[in-house]
Each structure stands twice: as C-alpha cells, then as structure tokens.
Amino acid sequence: MSLKALHIVFVAAATLLAAIFGAWAMQQYRGGAGTGYLMTTVVAFVAAISLIVYGRWFLRKLKNVSYLG
C-alpha cells in the first residue's frame, strides 16, 4: 500500500469519526446537556468539512501518483 493510499484511508476515517462525534454531541445537546456540547458539535462538523476539503486538495495535488506505490 502506497503512502498516498494510506493517507486517503486515514483522512476518510478521520472525516467519518469527526462527523459521528458531531452527531453524538448534537444528540447530547438536544437531550438537555450544556452549551459546551453545542460548541463541540460546531467544531466537529467544521473539522469534518475541513477534512473533506483537504482530501479533495490532496487528491488533486497527487493525481499523477500511483496508488500502488
């Protein structure tokens, strides 16, 4: 597995985890928890969106590099 493929796997996993964490924090906030959960929700979703943007940038930058290394 090349470094490019490994990087894509890790970015995808981090994006998924950030989105799941944001959904969990939103559920906690809706359940009556404090406003800290609202801030956590916002930060987690911003992180997920940022990771998507970064992943697209990374793929465009290394479009000529093989996945097989």
Q: Taking the domains of the chain in order of start, what are their residue ranges?
A: 3-61
Geometric angle at alpha carbon 26, from 25 and 30, rounded to 5°: 120
Question: What whole-number distance in Å separates Cα of residue 58 and Cα of residue 46?
Answer: 18
Question: What whole-number distance in Å separates Cα of residue 39 and Cα of residue 57?
Answer: 27
> pTM score, two decimals?
0.83
Mean pLDDT for back-to-back runs of 10 residues, the chain (69 residues): 88 98 95 91 97 94 79
pLDDT at residue 69, as a whole number: 64
| Structure tokens belonging to residue 3 | 């470094």
